[in-house]
Structure 1
């Protein structure tokens, strides 16, 4: 069977190379380097990227052919006059420089002026061509073999195939999608990039009817159009930034095979014991009640902390991680890596390479949205969470009020003597107050510290 797949695959690739070889970028410049040992057996996906000519204008998605996910997000207040945010200005300038389609019926053109009390939100969307994946069976067979899945375990093979589909389907560049926001206004997202993603700041032109609202693609009902929930976060209050793997979800491996096994074969991903209860406690305890919040814009209702789940996992895992978060943890924005690679080994590389720089970049963006909130950061010792959180605490003094790092033990492929060494944490948080960060093994250790943060926060708010 493998021989048949090889012959078919080689023939298909030869045909594509003959017809379009000079137009396809086989080097995948948007990808981290794929380790050579993974290239040897993980299937190539170079034809996931349709050829788009430079002079082609953006086009709207076709509901009969395309699939769009709109990722959940967090809205923030338009900065008041005098509230200078250089990073936000850079995002707005980049957004304004993107190519636009001609005005469409119902397109919003009104702008929100600084200090008007309006709302802005970054919408991220992923675009695919429906049922376009080439070699899904081959990719599935490769993983089944390498992960030593029983040939008779049809349930696991079916699960691998379903989770691989988002990695195999062709991404859709240079497309736009019309969305309805809370059934109150319509706006356009896109155009999508070479890697099939679009991100852009939108201004909302209506007062929110609830703490959360939904947006959906007008012509793509679920499951083809994954809708989005927007959470509204006021200027003041608390906020949470959390890693996912081995912080709130059991992964327990840093080896390529171990990560693939956890990602694609585990029937139901498991939360870290005690972490769901801790996050509920954090959400409840750090919610500012009307009686303790002197900000007049939020005195009519509680002000809960927005959650940001920041992971180095690729965006292809969004539905998988969204279901996990919905099952075990408070709502919040899931921020994933916009990696785009042409070999499944890129999944491993994206999880392991340059994670500190990636997380620092995304946290800079969060700071540009909510610089006046006080943040609590949670991560683990397997990768670079301590270094990323320490870097941001030094960059924005007073913005991060607590860092909690889970000391992970018994994990395959990790040198615990290095990763869990006291000196490592001292270096990561060098120059910061010792009370800012805490390394823990049991989530229950943190409940009292969260209570203390809430008391300190009430004292600070009362003195403002």
Structure 2
């Protein structure tokens, strides 16, 4: 039997992790059943899509249950030529950027279509885990829906595939599309990496607005040299991954595809909610100080016994955000790695202030991922 926690949110949808940071640990929340009839299907139209976001489950030792966050987005792709032209003109006028090849045109069309997609509210999504159907809360005005399903260990043992629970949207039998999702099962103890995306694992050049827009809208996403190999070497030692970013949820699909193609390990994602119609182009990317502390703290709270490595870059506020979190969670955060993207020195006042009160062996500024002594570091912990 499946158990569930219904999360009631405001119109500005908070993530499930943020819900937990606000209302306490999972064991303090009462679960209840919400099973669907085996014949029930999601009420989505043929021109509407469901995007499930990768998430990670945690085990609560008090209740002896696994908590599986389910998070998705219902939308209708927007193919407005006029709206795309307006964005293209803005990028051309302000940054001198435009389509230069078939590939850049393909990238621009896909990413803009996602950013201006129509959010579908009041859609009831029913998911299938093996033979069980489960009804999720209706989608909110931003198209997002969230819930938490809890499973016993015996259920997880029966259902898990490669340490993941795979599910899909139950849709009308005449609709031949498939919408799949996955939740990774992360045990209570171990080591996890919480990693930034832009300029940490993906070339973005956030501090240069023209290059930022070029990489965001036109260019193929490019992995940061050496980072896939570094992360794979950690994954082979049993380390799990969480990606946090100020990039919008709208771009989740191309970001996840990029990470897979580049060879990064499987990771959960925590991105940013936006309403593109109300945003300037630059406001697509909020400062890390506005988003990352809450994103990271939420992960720390549901894995209180795990140790964490934070990885970011020197381009914006990662050193400051990470240093503050390390002072707040000294037992959980065991290391911070900062990729040096602006030729700064570890002896600069910026880093002295950011990592004030933190032992020097707890953080490292690096240019080449080969500088990161993975095995020697892990052997000390």
Indicate the residue corresponding to 2:360 in structure 1.
434
Larger Rg: 1
C-alpha displacement at 1:214, in angstroms? 1.7
Indicate the residue corresponding to 1:456 in structure 2.
380
**CA–CA distance in 2 between the matches of 1:442 and 1:218?**
46
1:207 to 1:158, Cα distance in 2 relative to 1, 3 A: closer
Q: Decide which moves more: 257-266 or 215-224.
A: 215-224
The answer to whether 1:207 aligns with 2:207 is: no
**CA–CA distance in 1 between the matches of 2:323 and 2:359?**
11
**CA–CA distance in 2 between the matches of 1:246 and 1:142?**
26
The answer to whether 1:336 aligns with 2:271 is: yes
RMSD (CA atoms): 2.8
1:338 to 1:421, Cα distance in 2 relative to 1, 3 A: farther
Indicate the residue corresponding to 2:244 in structure 1.
310
C-alpha displacement at 1:307, in angstroms? 0.4
Indicate the residue corresponding to 1:42 in structure 2.
none
Indicate the residue corresponding to 2:169 in structure 1.
217
Indicate the residue corresponding to 2:48 in structure 1.
66
Contact 1:128 1:172 (8 Å CA) reproduced: yes
1:388-442: CA deviations, max 9, x gaps? 21222222221011100011037xxxxx69xx87211121122222211111111
The gaps in structure 2 that reach 5 residues or longer are 1-10, 14-40
Contact 2:99 2:218 (8 Å CA) reproduced: no
The residue correspondences of 1:85-124 to structure 2 (distance < 5 A) are 114=63, 116=64, 118-124=65-71
C-alpha displacement at 1:130, in angstroms? 4.4
The answer to whether 1:198 aligns with 2:148 is: no
Contact 1:63 1:220 (8 Å CA) reproduced: no
The gaps in structure 1 that reach 5 residues or longer are 1-28, 32-58, 82-113, 288-303, 411-415, 458-464
Contact 1:30 1:341 (8 Å CA) reproduced: no
**Which residue, out of 107, 124, 132, partners 1:185?**
132
**CA–CA distance in 2 between the matches of 1:351 and 1:421?**
29
Structure 1 stretches of at least 4 aligned residues deviating more than 4 Å after TM superposition: 130-134, 147-152, 220-226
1:231 to 1:150, Cα distance in 2 relative to 1, 3 A: closer
From the two aligned structures, give the one with the greater strand fraction.
2
1:4-31: CA deviations, max 9, x gaps? xxxxxxxxxxxxxxxxxxxxxxxxx969
The answer to whether 1:280 aligns with 2:232 is: yes
TM-score (norm 2): 0.80
**CA–CA distance in 2 between the matches of 1:151 and 1:164?**
13
SS at match of 1:231: strand
C-alpha displacement at 1:234, in angstroms? 0.6
1:356 to 1:184, Cα distance in 2 relative to 1, 3 A: farther
